């Protein structure tokens, strides 16, 4: 094969190689660094005897498939019964969710207080959480989704981290009920493993902004209400709590399970919504940082802004570079075939491409001023569980 060195050294090629290096190296170095930090001991005071009064809010909209399973799951929560209260807040479900839940509760005794409240109209999850918050008695507010299930010890493990007055909120670790279903669910598992390492590292330094509403705990004193404007109820609220001077951390022992989307449509839909929420929260945080009102270290905040807002666009340089190289050296296509045949690398490719494209699309939506306060649920995620 004849190599045209002159062409190889054209400035365009050099620029593309430069962009690809930034695109792959920066996230990799951040991951390696956070992986090392994640192994450090915690610098928060953990007290397993600390058991504050908790109100757990479960918002529901058309959850008839899973609501009974959820009610059975919360019954098993291991926590002093006089210190736990559960509020289910339904927003005019059209599938009888509230009635199914009421009937189930009538027939089944619970060791703690549990009630159902209903909104008169549907205005989205965050507004429903705030509606429930009005009468919540807990010193700590926990949130959980109808289609996610907590390990019985999760609450106790989580509250012990709230003993430290610095900690204003925390989130738990997700496990998938259908991890091995197909390449898409495995891709979500791989993505989560990477993010979990980043979130432990960030938490041990100061805080992570990446929260999951399926298992989050917030000290009542640390926030007035859930963020119900731009950004999500989880990451958006966390941004405000960090701005108030608290730390917000990821606790890997507090485990919940749910279902990973297993179709392309489901996966892209979920990732795109969550990415849009996160982008709103990150940009909001960067604005606060400029006003010196955001104590999370700049290195964490700006690296996250770069990774989620700018780096995905460098994927195009990566694709252009790959096409160029294959054009120059067609043999490379043959050499790269095993990448598509081996399961692990296929999962990596799917995880990498879907995450980056979801971020690109969400960033464009953000620029167009779009937001998703009320969303259409990803039905398939309930179908597996029911």
**Which residues here bind ligand GDD, judged by CB under 6 A?**
59-61, 63, 89-91, 122, 124-125, 128, 145-147, 212-214, 232-234, 270, 273-274, 277, 374, 377-378
Distance (Å) of CA 321 to CA 4, 153, 177, 234: 16, 49, 38, 37
- Partnered with residue 115 across adjacent β-strands are 87
Give the one entry of ligand GDD, Mn ion, none that residue 122 binds, where binding means its C-beta sits below a cut-off of 5 to 8 angstroms depending on kind: ligand GDD
At its nearest, how many Å lie between Mn ion and the CB of residue 258?
6
Residue at shortest CB range from ligand GDD: 213
What values do phi and psi take at 111, rounded to 5?
Answer: -75, -15
- What is the number of other CB atoms lying within 10 angstroms of the CB of residue 223? 19
C-alpha–C-alpha distance, residues 120 and 300, integer Å: 41
At its nearest, how many Å lie between ligand GDD and the CB of residue 90?
6
At its nearest, how many Å lie between ligand GDD and the CB of residue 254?
15
Nearer to ligand GDD, 101 or 347 (CB): 101
Give the one entry of ligand GDD, Mn ion, none that residue 61 binds, where binding means its C-beta sits below a cut-off of 5 to 8 angstroms depending on kind: ligand GDD
Element (H, E) at 117: strand 113-118
C-alpha–C-alpha distance, residues 154 and 73, integer Å: 12
Give the one entry of Mn ion, ligand GDD, none that residue 228 binds, where binding means its C-beta sits below a cut-off of 5 to 8 angstroms depending on kind: none
At its nearest, how many Å lie between ligand GDD and the CB of residue 212?
5
Q: Which residues of 83-119 are buried (b: 16+ CB within 10 A; e: fewer)?
A: bbbbbbbbbebeeebbebbbeebeeeeeebebebebb
Give the one entry of Mn ion, ligand GDD, none that residue 232 binds, where binding means its C-beta sits below a cut-off of 5 to 8 angstroms depending on kind: ligand GDD
Residue 305 has which token pair? 């802004």
- What is the number of other CB atoms lying within 10 angstroms of the CB of residue 287? 12
At its nearest, how many Å lie between Mn ion and the CB of residue 381?
6
Question: How far is C-alpha 328 from the chain's CA centre?
Answer: 41
At its nearest, how many Å lie between ligand GDD and the CB of residue 214?
5
Give the one entry of Mn ion, ligand GDD, none that residue 233 binds, where binding means its C-beta sits below a cut-off of 5 to 8 angstroms depending on kind: ligand GDD
Work out whether 63 is an interface residue with Mn ion (CB under 5 A): no
Nearer to ligand GDD, 20 or 154 (CB): 154
At its nearest, how many Å lie between Mn ion and the CB of residue 86?
18
Helical H segments across the chain, by residue range: 5-8, 11-38, 67-75, 97-107, 125-133, 154-162, 183-205, 235-243, 264-290, 298-305, 315-328, 331-335, 337-341, 343-367, 380-383
Pairing label, strands 149-150, 247-258 = antiparallel
Nearer to Mn ion, 145 or 202 (CB): 145
Give the one entry of ligand GDD, Mn ion, none that residue 88 binds, where binding means its C-beta sits below a cut-off of 5 to 8 angstroms depending on kind: none
At its nearest, how many Å lie between ligand GDD and the CB of residue 141?
14
Give the one entry of ligand GDD, Mn ion, none that residue 124 binds, where binding means its C-beta sits below a cut-off of 5 to 8 angstroms depending on kind: ligand GDD
Residue 30 has which token pair? 């951040």
Q: How far apart are the first and last CA of the chain?
A: 58
Give the one entry of Mn ion, ligand GDD, none that residue 377 binds, where binding means its C-beta sits below a cut-off of 5 to 8 angstroms depending on kind: ligand GDD
Region near Mn ion per CB under 5 A, out of 10-18, 77-85, 140-148, 167-175: 140-148
At its nearest, how many Å lie between Mn ion and the CB of residue 218?
19
216 burial type by CB count under 10 A (0-12 exposed, 13-18 middle, 19+ buried): buried
Dmax of the chain from CA atoms? 80
At its nearest, how many Å lie between ligand GDD and the CB of residue 274?
5
142-181 footprint of Mn ion as x/- string (CB under 5 A): ---x-x----------------------------------
Give the one entry of ligand GDD, Mn ion, none that residue 274 binds, where binding means its C-beta sits below a cut-off of 5 to 8 angstroms depending on kind: ligand GDD
Nearer to ligand GDD, 145 or 188 (CB): 145
CB 249 within 8 A of CB 156: no
Nearer to ligand GDD, 87 or 140 (CB): 87
| Contact footprint for Mn ion (CB under 5 A) | 145, 147
């Amino acid at each position: 094969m004849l190599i045209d060195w002159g062409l190889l050294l054209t400035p365009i090629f050099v620029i593309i190689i430069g962009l690809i290096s930034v695109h792959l190296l920066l996230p990799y170095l951040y991951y390696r660094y956070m992986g090392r930090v994640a192994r450090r001991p915690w610098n928060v005071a953990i007290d397993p005897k600390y058991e504050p009064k908790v109100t757990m809010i479960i918002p529901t909209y058309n959850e008839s498939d899973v609501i009974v399973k959820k009610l059975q799951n919360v019954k098993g929560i291991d926590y002093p019964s006089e210190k736990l209260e559960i509020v289910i807040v339904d927003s005019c479900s059209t599938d009888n969710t509230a009635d199914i839940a009421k009937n189930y509760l009538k027939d089944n005794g619970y060791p703690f207080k549990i009630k159902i409240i209903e909104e008169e109209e549907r205005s989205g999850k965050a507004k429903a959480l705030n509606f429930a918050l009005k009468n919540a008695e807990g010193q700590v507010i926990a949130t959980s989704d109808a289609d996610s299930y907590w390990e019985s010890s999760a609450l106790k493990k989580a509250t012990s981290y709230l003993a430290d007055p610095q900690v204003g909120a925390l989130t738990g670790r997700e496990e998938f009920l259908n991890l091995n279903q197909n390449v898409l669910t495995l891709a979500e598992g791989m993505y989560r493993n990477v993010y979990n390492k980043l979130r432990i590292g960030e938490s041990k330094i100061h805080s992570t902004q990446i929260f999951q509403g399926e298992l989050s705990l917030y000290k009542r004193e640390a926030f007035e209400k859930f963020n119900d404007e731009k950004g999500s109820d989880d990451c958006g609220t966390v941004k405000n709590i960090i701005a108030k001077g608290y730390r917000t951390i990821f606790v890997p022992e507090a485990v919940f399970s749910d279902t990973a989307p297993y179709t392309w449509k489901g996966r892209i839909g979920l990732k795109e919504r969550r990415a849009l929420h996160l982008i709103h929260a990150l940009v909001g945080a960067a604005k606060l940082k400029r006003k010196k009102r955001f104590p999370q270290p700049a290195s964490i905040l700006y690296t996250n802004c770069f990774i989620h807002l700018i780096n995905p666009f460098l994927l195009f340089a990566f694709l252009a570079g790959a096409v160029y190289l294959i054009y120059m050296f067609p043999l490379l296509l043959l050499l790269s075939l095993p990448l598509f045949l081996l399961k692990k690398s296929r999962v990596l490719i799917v995880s990498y491409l879907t995450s980056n494209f979801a971020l690109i699309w969400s960033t464009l939506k953000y620029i167009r001023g779009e937001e998703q306060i009320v969303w259409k649920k990803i039905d398939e995620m309930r179908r597996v569980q029911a």
